[in-house]
Amino acid sequence: MMRQYELVDRVKRYNPNADEEMLDRAYVYAMKAHGSQKRASGDPFFAHPLEVAAILTDMRLDDATIIAAVLHDTVEDTAATIDEIRHLFGDEIARLVDGLTKLKKLDFVSKKATQGENFRKLLLAVAADVRVLLVKLADRLHNMRTLDHMRSDKRLRIAEETVEIYAPLAGRMGMQEIREELEELAFRHIKPDAHALITAKLAGFVDINQGLIGEIEAELGQRFAERGITATVSGRAKRPYSVWRKMERKSISFEQLSDIFGFRVIVPNVEDCYRVLGVIHTTWAMVPGRYKDYISTPKQNDYRSIHTTVVGPGHQRVELQIRTEGMDRVAEFGVAAHAIYKDGRTISAKDMTESSAYQWLRRTVDTLAESASPEEFLEHTKLELFHDQVFCFSPKGLLIALPRGATPIDFAYAVHTDVGNSAVGSKINGRNAPLLTELQNGDEVEIVRSNGQVPPAAWESLVVTGKARAAIRRATRAAVRRQYAGLGRQILDRAFDRAGRPLNDEKLKAALPRLARASVEDVLASVGRGEMFSGDVVRAVYPDLETEKRPMPEGGAGPGWFDLKQGENLKFKLPKADDGNAIPIAGMGSDLAVRFPPNGGAVPGDRIVGIMSAGEGVTIYPIQSPALAAFDNEPERWLDVRWDLEDKRKRRFPARIALQSINEPGTLAQITTVIAEHDGNIDSVKMDRPNSDFTDMTVDLTVWDLKHLNAIISELRQKPVVSAVERIIA
């Protein structure tokens, strides 16, 4: 266990002006608070916060962060209180410890909603001060290093959490070394057999190629010296998790891997990075498609480096990363690299908030208000965490970083939600391209927009960014709500007209308390969804409405009656073909939330009636449908509707026919040919053979109108193989 003076020495190595007295006080306070507590390994519990603090001293973090690390378990696991810590160590340290104490309670579980809510709380806690996240990651790293002492089920759960949440989060914060170690430790517990196998294969490969790393290091160093370039070259084999992930991603065996060795070249300045690149590419052949310049276009987590792969000595592929010392520090410590010390002067922790990595975190937190559920939020952040990136440009030169596999739709939403919602097309590098084209590094993307566009719901399954997916969901929900509200207004217009009273939003607004709705739009949408009946709204707006008192017909109100008050009824008009007061229905492709029954449908030319269903809008039935008998005692659900004959857009409508055919070769072909030749579209065919001579068929198809359907039926009746055919109206 690290001693008191050792902790102080570690901090003073990089910060001579460290507050030694407060560090000593924190050490003593935490040691007394934890007392004789033990970890699962049997070690003193106090050793854990000290190891967390040691990890953070390697990142050269400020005194407050180191002290918060020493104290981070005291409030949760001892009798210490936040007020006591505030009194002894000040507000800043108390806030950090309080944030970490709340996070201590956020154990993730397998249920997605709970996990999403916990992750939401985690990001909210760290958004106020990034140092909370740094301590949390260091805490998780030490716990993973000592995970062997846990029960097997708990080890697996913690390892899965680590590789699913904490490792990607460390990567997005630019802390690549911590990410790699977290992944490696988790891999060992999640897939122990794979880890052992790959580790053994790597060890054997390194033994066989023992001198290759030294040979490449020496040759690179010599070539750089000849050009007068000062550079430090170091090489190593890739980690087992990195190797396994590549094998899984590319579906290849270990023996098929060609770039197991990686080399890092550290130079004094940016110019030397490109000089080194020139030396490497003029010495060995570059592997096409394996060059990336993250100095010119840094990653969103501030990572800057040049990556290239060449065919080196012995025809071995070698991956190289070229960067400056400053870039290397950022690559290793990420957002923590912004809290550095120069000439003994501490740069404020606020400098860390200027990093792109932390800005990403803040943007992620901003989406909290836009996520409808914890599951959506978790999905959004996972999408952002796990993808590699491509860099694209707008026509004005704006650089947009996107996950690999992103499309122009993702690009549009990355620019602005309104741009995504109004996107109808795209141009990539000046050429028209489908919106589903996969973007490549360096593409210039121009989005073609239309103000009347609403994003199709199908886009949600096609985009790869969480922001785009969340925005499409919101737009889809808003569009559906507008449809229901539009339908609700039409229903109420006719209901108030039948009652002989005017409908206006002011009167409706005054009745909102009686309707238990917050806005007029809520009322309209509720009526459109069938959650509130128009008669209830009429009564709420005009409580004193007097209606014609008539005796209720025998057997109940039936479809010809509209119930306004108990004992007071207003005649409800059955639909007529020329009824101008009925709601026009253009079909499922219209702006109204309408649908047709699955067993027969309805087509233009049928007299139709609408039935309201709670949460589903209106179902359109032919007036002769026997299914309408089920609604005889629910007159408030009946709506006057008519076909919108003025709609010039051609639409198909669902219908069902039943046939009895003779069993002989080619019968089905003759039937489907008739339907196809008459421009009918078959959705499904069901066949049943009651005996060896005949087959009963049920055909679901779509047609333009009743005349079109009757023509198909008439032609089918002419076929010798068809003994009977009729339309089914369920």
Q: Determine the pLDDT at residue 110.
A: 40
End-to-end CA distance of the chain: 79
Listed residue (266, 488, 473, 300) closest to 401, CA to CA: 300
Q: Tell whether 120 and 97 lie within a shared domain.
A: yes
Q: Determine the pLDDT at residue 550.
A: 38
Q: Tell whether 549 and 661 lie within a shared domain.
A: no
Whether residue 86 is contained in a domain is answered as yes
Whether residue 74 is contained in a domain is answered as yes
Contact 60, 96 (CB under 8 A): no
> Where residue 630 falls among pLDDT bands split at 50, 70, 90?
confident
Could you tell me the CATH number of the domain that includes residue 95? 1.10.3210.10
Residues 181 and 475: their CA atoms lie apart, in Å, by 41
Q: Tell whether 207 and 165 lie within a shared domain.
A: no
Residues 296 and 303: their CA atoms lie apart, in Å, by 11
Whether residue 380 is contained in a domain is answered as no
Look at residue 426 and give its three-state secondary structure.
strand
DSSP structure class, residue 45: T
Q: Determine the pLDDT at residue 391.
A: 73
User: Is the pLDDT at 188 greater than 70, yes or no?
Assistant: yes
Q: Determine the pLDDT at residue 484.
A: 79
Q: Determine the pLDDT at residue 120.
A: 60
Angular region, 107: left φ>0, alpha ψ -120 to 50, beta rest: beta
Who wins on pLDDT, 314 or 560?
Answer: 314
Residues 675 and 709: their CA atoms lie apart, in Å, by 10
Q: Tell whether 590 and 675 lie within a shared domain.
A: no
Q: Report percent pLDDT > 90 for the chain.
A: 28
Residues 6+ apart with CB under 8 A from 244: 187, 191, 194, 195, 198
Whether residue 31 is contained in a domain is answered as yes
411, two tokens = 């690009």
Whether residue 581 is contained in a domain is answered as yes
- Look up tokens 């009745």; give the residue: 511
SS3 breakdown of the chain: % helix, strand, coil, rounded to 5? Answer: 50, 20, 30
Q: Determine the pLDDT at residue 546.
A: 56
3-state secondary structure 286-309: ECCCCCEECCCCCCCCCCCCEEEE
308-to-101, 291, 323 alpha-carbon distances in Å = 44, 4, 12
> Where residue 552 falls among pLDDT bands split at 50, 70, 90?
very low
Q: Tell whether 177 and 93 lie within a shared domain.
A: yes
Whether residue 582 is contained in a domain is answered as yes
> Where residue 576 falls among pLDDT bands split at 50, 70, 90?
very low
Q: Which among 285, 319, 338 is the end of a domain?
A: 338
Q: Tell whether 213 and 89 lie within a shared domain.
A: no
Q: Tell whether 562 and 668 lie within a shared domain.
A: no
User: pLDDT tens for residues 78-136?
Assistant: 888 999 999 999 998 998 888 777 555 444 444 445 555 555 655 665 666 778 888 88
Residues 466 and 367: their CA atoms lie apart, in Å, by 10
Mean pLDDT of the chain: 80
Domain extent for 630: 517-643
Could you tell me the CATH number of the domain that includes residue 682? 3.30.70.260
Angular region, 615: left φ>0, alpha ψ -120 to 50, beta rest: left
> Looking at this protein, which amino acid is placed at residue 74?
T
189, two tokens = 């517990």
Could you tell me the CATH number of the domain that includes residue 307? 3.30.460.10
User: Is the pLDDT at 397 greater than 50, yes or no?
Assistant: yes
Look at residue 403 and give its three-state secondary structure.
strand
Listed residue (653, 655, 652) closest to 698, CA to CA: 655
User: pLDDT tens for residues 699-717?
Assistant: 999 998 899 999 999 999 9
- Look up tokens 């072909």; give the residue: 669
Check if 58 is active-site: no
Residues 357 and 363: their CA atoms lie apart, in Å, by 10
Q: Tell whether 613 and 660 lie within a shared domain.
A: no
Q: Tell whether 605 and 715 lie within a shared domain.
A: no
Whether residue 444 is contained in a domain is answered as no
CA Rg value for the chain: 35
Residues 579 and 571: their CA atoms lie apart, in Å, by 15
User: pLDDT tens for residues 263-302?
Assistant: 899 999 999 999 999 999 988 888 888 888 999 888 877 7
Q: Which among 135, 155, 190 is the end of a domain?
A: 190
Q: Tell whether 582 and 673 lie within a shared domain.
A: no
- Look up tokens 């990420």; give the residue: 334
3-state secondary structure 68-136: HHHHCCHHHHCCCCHHHHHHHHCHHHHHHHHHHHHHHCCCCCCCHHHHHHHHHHHHHHHHCCHHHHHHH
Who wins on pLDDT, 238 or 25?
Answer: 25
How many CB atoms are closer than 10 A to CB 171? 22
Identify the weakest region by mean pLDDT among 86-95, 601-610, 639-648, 670-679.
639-648
Check if 354 is active-site: no
Strands 423-428 and 431-433: antiparallel
> Looking at this protein, which amino acid is placed at residue 437?
T
Q: Determine the pLDDT at residue 374.
A: 54
User: Is the pLDDT at 147 greater than 70, yes or no?
Assistant: yes
User: pLDDT tens for residues 488-537?
Assistant: 888 888 788 878 888 888 888 888 888 888 888 888 888 887 778 888 88
> Where residue 370 falls among pLDDT bands split at 50, 70, 90?
low
Look at residue 346 and give its three-state secondary structure.
strand
**Is-above-0.85 flag for pTM?**
no
DSSP structure class, residue 233: E
User: Is the pLDDT at 590 greater than 60, yes or no?
Assistant: no
**Number of domains the chain contains:** 4
Look at residue 40 and give its three-state secondary structure.
coil
Query: Which of 9, 19, 24, 76 is the catalytic position?
Result: 76
Query: Which of 20, 77, 493, 521 is the catalytic position?
Result: 77
User: pLDDT tens for residues 337-361?
Assistant: 655 443 334 444 455 445 565 566 6
Q: Which among 609, 643, 677 is the end of a domain?
A: 643
Whether residue 53 is contained in a domain is answered as yes
Residues 701 and 655: their CA atoms lie apart, in Å, by 6
Q: Determine the pLDDT at residue 709.
A: 93
Who wins on pLDDT, 131 or 419?
Answer: 419
User: pLDDT tens for residues 32-71?
Assistant: 999 889 888 888 999 999 999 999 998 888 899 999 999 9
Residues 730 and 727: their CA atoms lie apart, in Å, by 10
> Where residue 321 falls among pLDDT bands split at 50, 70, 90?
very high
Mean pLDDT of 307-312: 88
Residues 6+ apart with CB under 8 A from 718: none
Contact 496, 483 (CB under 8 A): no
Q: Tell whether 209 and 329 lie within a shared domain.
A: yes
Instruction: State which H helix or E strand residue 467 sits in.
Output: helix 466-499
How many CB atoms are closer than 10 A to CB 230? 11
Q: Tell whether 583 and 681 lie within a shared domain.
A: no
DSSP structure class, residue 692: S
Residues 724 and 35: their CA atoms lie apart, in Å, by 91
Q: Determine the pLDDT at residue 134.
A: 87
